[in-house]
Structure 1
Amino acid sequence: MTLVDSIPTPPAAVSGTHRRAWRDRALFWGFIALFLFGLFGLVTATGWQETWGELRKLAIWQIGVLLALSMINYLIRGVRWHFLARRLGLDLPLRYSLLHFIGGFAMTITPARIGEFVRLRWITRMTGWTVERVTPLPLADRAFDMAAMGLVLGVAVFLSGKGSMGATPIALTAIAGAIIITRPKLLIKLVEVLFGALHRWPRPFARLRQAARSMGRFSDTRVTGPALILSTVGWMAEGFALYLLLHWMGAEVSLATATVIFLFSTLAGGLTGAPGGLGGAEATMMVLLAMNGAPLHVALAATTVIRITTLWFAIAVGALAFPFAEALSNKSKIL
């Protein structure tokens, strides 16, 4: 034991940590309670018999297809994570990258999904790299997600003729955010402007500036091209899943419109900062489905199923992978 290890943690620090943990748990369960309350209200208002009847129409194989499409999305984006990690200089095997990426889904329910940065913890343990060296990886991963969702949403809006739904500004915002994150000069300037406005936390801002410089590794077209293709295919699979579900439930919604509804709802839910977009994504999806001719009980049933087979399925798969990723990071050192 070192001298540092022998120094006890100040009671104030322990108390502060406990307060934050309780606050995070209270926030999460508060969102869950509000979501369940709203869901109960909708079921009661629309008639639970009709909603339950729509859910019972689905066969096991149909649920399996929806879960398979979600898994395709996760695996494709996991391959993209591995591709970006290799570009950053991390020479981890593909199976480790997939385990890290999918295991991080267990933390999707944290506010703003900040808990998914647990992937950095696993990587730094296995490689000995500092957090600053690895931080550009999740930033690039989010950037390509936003860019792909923005591009697919923009094309789907054009094909569906649903520009009045307000999806175009969301698509442009997502693409603009992705451009800023993958352009180190723009990102460094943004960090400097924020620091100049706050004049606080010089060390974290210095680390952010260092991470921003490393983002240049991902701005090459040899990186952006494959990363965007992988991202696009992954998110199109989820839009196709919603289209199939609506088709099975008898709702006449085109593939382009279903894709717009899914991506717009996902982005809208993410903007709320709620864990997993809880509440915002569901409300947006039900409203858009109703606006496109789906009966309210069908919209409610479809929203419930698609959120279970995407958000909650991701959390379940992540929870299964999480302990393996944690154990592996404790035992292995690759680089």
Structure 2
Amino acid sequence: MQTRKIRNGIVVSLIFAFVVMLVIALYADVPNMLAAFAGFHWIYLPVILGLTLVNYAGRFVKWSYYLKRLRIVVRPSISLLIFLSGLSMAITPGKIGELLKSYLLRQYTDAPISHSSPIIVAERLSDGLAMLVLASSGLLLYRFGLQLMLPLLIVGLAGVLVIQNRTLSLRLLRICERLPFLGRFAQHFQAFYESAYTLLQWRPLLLAVGIGIVSWSGECLAFYFVFRGLGIAASMDLVLKSTFILAVSSLVGSASGLPGGLGSADGSVLGLTRLLVTSSSALGGAATLLIRFCTLWFGLLIGVGALITLRTVPALKAVPRERAEADRLPDSQSLSIAHQSNADLSSVSATRGE
């Protein structure tokens, strides 16, 4: 993993994030936006953050299900920390840094990255389909965003159909084997495909989408309480609008490929909030910054904490597989293995002497 490039990318993303927040603040008129923050009912903040945690809990359930599907066995506590560590990579371009989860899994289980990385793809795909479902009511009610959402749905389903068609997929893999550059990675492509085929069959895919609908509803409700905190009257219409705005903005951010959807997701939240909820630029800017802090930046802080925990707590550090297996053996067995190894070495030396 090219850690230096990822580290540099994160630094650039942080600078870009600061610029985005500055632009939003200037657009919303800083004094008026600060007044909106001052009038925010902060009693809603624990509810908002709690609903964000509901999203992470649901996504962890899906992560655990995918690990089970691929028969990757890891301690629940380690699995949770690996999953949360992936949140620290939220501001890498296209979330490519989430491959950190596969890298960590390899350290703890020896599962090849090519075997576990399809989990990242399946997570993104099922989350995207779940967000499309959540946005569907708004797409029908407000007639906005259909031109963007329909191509995303078609591309996603087309990818699933290709993966599920083993004859076609294996033929494409054989073509890759014959190509000068790609042929060197044919074995990795094959492992990646087999895992993707296991995860993206209709039954596990529909189950994952169902889990995604429940989990992402948490963040949509969190956005509703952001509006409530800013003094906007409660109504079922506000719940629908909050769900639509957050779902569409998340999809726009993902489709843009920008780190954490910076700029694209923020702009979508701000624009749709002013279009559907309030004409006040100050309230729109405050709502945008609040929901982004309570989702993107809150998750990033949790991810950094989980990654630091994995790296610093001695009991949680990865142990090489050979040493771990030796540690699990009774002392007599360990000595027996050591004596056998010495005997084998002596036999080899005697043979060479002859």
TM category, shorter: 0.7 to 0.9
Output the aligned Cα RMSD.
3.0
Q: CA deviation at 1:169?
A: 3.7
The residue that corresponds to 2:337 in the other structure is none
TM-score (norm 2): 0.78
The residue that corresponds to 1:115 in the other structure is 97
Q: Please point out which of 267, 270, 274 is paired with 1:283.
A: 267
Matches within 5 A, 1:1-335: 20=5, 24-25=9-10, 27-42=12-27, 46-158=28-140, 161-163=141-143, 165-167=144-146, 169-170=148-149, 173-174=152-153, 176-177=155-156, 180-181=159-160, 183-185=163-165, 188=169, 200-204=181-185, 206-251=187-232, 254-294=238-278, 295-326=280-311, 328-331=316-319
Q: Would the alpha carbon gap of residues 132 and 297 (structure 1) be closer, same or farther in structure 2, given more than 3 Å must change?
A: same
Q: CA deviation at 1:180?
A: 1.7
| Ranges in structure 1 where 5+ consecutive residues have no aligned partner | 1-15
Residues 79 and 98 in structure 1, CA contact (< 8 A), matched pair in contact too = no
Q: CA deviation at 1:213?
A: 2.6
Matched residue type, 1:120: S
Distance in 2, matches of 1:300 and 1:287, equals 9
Residues 136 and 215 in structure 1, CA contact (< 8 A), matched pair in contact too = yes
Q: Would the alpha carbon gap of residues 205 and 166 (structure 1) be closer, same or farther in structure 2, given more than 3 Å must change?
A: farther
Residues 6 and 92 in structure 2, CA contact (< 8 A), matched pair in contact too = no
Distance in 2, matches of 1:48 and 1:193, equals 59
Q: Would the alpha carbon gap of residues 76 and 40 (structure 1) be closer, same or farther in structure 2, given more than 3 Å must change?
A: same
Report which of the two structures shows the higher radius of gyration computed on alpha carbons: 2
* Deviates further, 116-125 or 141-150: 141-150
Q: CA deviation at 1:206?
A: 5.0
Query: Counterpart of 2:19 in 1: which secondary structure?
Result: helix
Residues 184 and 213 in structure 1, CA contact (< 8 A), matched pair in contact too = no
Q: CA deviation at 1:107?
A: 1.1
Query: Counterpart of 2:318 in 1: which secondary structure?
Result: helix
Q: Would the alpha carbon gap of residues 224 and 258 (structure 1) be closer, same or farther in structure 2, given more than 3 Å must change?
A: same
Q: Percent identity?
A: 23
Distance in 2, matches of 1:126 and 1:17, equals 19
Residues 122 and 329 in structure 1, CA contact (< 8 A), matched pair in contact too = no
Query: Counterpart of 2:196 in 1: which secondary structure?
Result: helix
Q: CA deviation at 1:135?
A: 1.9
